[in-house]
């Protein structure tokens, strides 16, 4: 295992970053690196890594904030690699979506073992995922064919409408901020333009809601974002 996997390492310590990069490349992994959280998030969006190694203590966005934002984008494994060993830090890391937690200093063999285990679990989970999203709300989205059916009725979506709806349905029941939707669908350069999301939510409601003025499927949480009703 190694050559086909890309790992993103986010850490503000140059020496450690270089050491981890050498360990991973020697083991056959492709490696991309970032020295702060904002750069790491941009790389995660642009490169779509298969796994993320993440420190907690970093300038600007700390590792916990980065982990939360990554979880709005992707389900890839996230492993914290940090000097923080307090139980409160470990609990916080898992609470914000981490898959594993390894403290510094560490052995290269253990790091590689944790990475390979996380990648195997992710691969098994991906095998179980259906390309079709079907919710109890009688909406079926075929992600391979880019086709949508609402209560047996075929509905045409533009490519961008499809991406927005797929993101909402993949996270049904969870409130997604406008910035999370912008980052996932349009890219980091669009963050801070909530009216763009509002426009596409309006368009989707016109197409899928029985009564767009009283949405059954796509709900707004004022001041927070939007969620797709799973029930």
CA gap 63, 80 in Å, rounded: 8
How far is C-alpha 204 from the chain's CA centre?
22
pLDDT of residue 142: 82
* DSSP H/E element including 166: helix 159-170
pLDDT of residue 224: 87
pLDDT of residue 3: 44
pLDDT of residue 2: 42
Using alpha carbons, list the distances in angstroms from residue 129 to 1, 140, 146, 186, 208. Answer: 22, 15, 16, 24, 24
101: phi then psi, degrees, rounded to nearest 5: -150, 120
pTM for this predicted structure: 0.61
Cis peptide leading into residue 116 (ω within 30°) = no
Mean pLDDT by 10 residues, the chain (231 residues): 76 93 93 93 87 91 90 85 88 88 91 90 61 66 81 87 88 86 80 91 93 92 88 65
Burial of 202 from C-beta contacts in 10 A (0-12 / 13-18 / 19+): exposed
pLDDT of residue 231: 65
CA gap 209, 205 in Å, rounded: 5
Domain map of the chain by residue range? 6-128, 132-228
CATH architecture of 6-128: 3-Layer(aba) Sandwich (3.40)
Who contacts 119 (Cβ-Cβ below 8 Å, separation ≥6)?
1, 5, 50, 51, 77
- Please name the fold of domain 132-228: Arc Repressor Mutant, subunit A (1.10.10)
pLDDT of residue 124: 67
Using alpha carbons, list the distances in angstroms from residue 99 to 54, 76, 195. Answer: 11, 9, 34
């Amino acid at each position: 295992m190694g050559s086909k996997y890309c790992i993103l390492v986010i850490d503000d310590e140059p020496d450690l970053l270089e050491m981890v990069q050498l360990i991973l490349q020697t083991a056959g992994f492709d490696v991309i690196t970032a020295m702060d959280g904002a750069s790491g998030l941009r790389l995660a969006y642009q490169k779509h890594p298969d796994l993320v190694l993440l420190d907690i203590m970093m300038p600007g966005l700390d590792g916990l904030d980065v982990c939360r934002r990554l979880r709005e984008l992707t389900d890839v494994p996230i492993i914290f690699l940090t000097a923080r060993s307090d139980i409160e830090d470990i609990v916080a890391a898992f609470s914000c979506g981490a898959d594993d937690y390894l403290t510094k200093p560490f052995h290269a063999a253990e790091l590689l073992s944790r990475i390979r285990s996380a990648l195997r679990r992710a691969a098994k989970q991906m095998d179980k995922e259906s390309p079709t999203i079907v919710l109890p709300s009688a909406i079926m989205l075929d992600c391979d064919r880019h086709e949508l059916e609402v209560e047996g009725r075929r509905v045409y979506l533009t490519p961008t409408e499809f991406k927005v709806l797929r993101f909402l349905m993949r996270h049904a029941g969870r409130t997604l901020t406008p910035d999370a939707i912008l980052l996932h669908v349009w890219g980091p350069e669009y963050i801070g333009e909530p009216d763009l999301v509002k426009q596409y939510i309006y368009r989707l409601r016109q197409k899928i809601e029985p009564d767009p003025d009283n949405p059954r499927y796509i709900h707004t949480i004022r001041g927070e974002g939007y969620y797709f009703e799973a029930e």
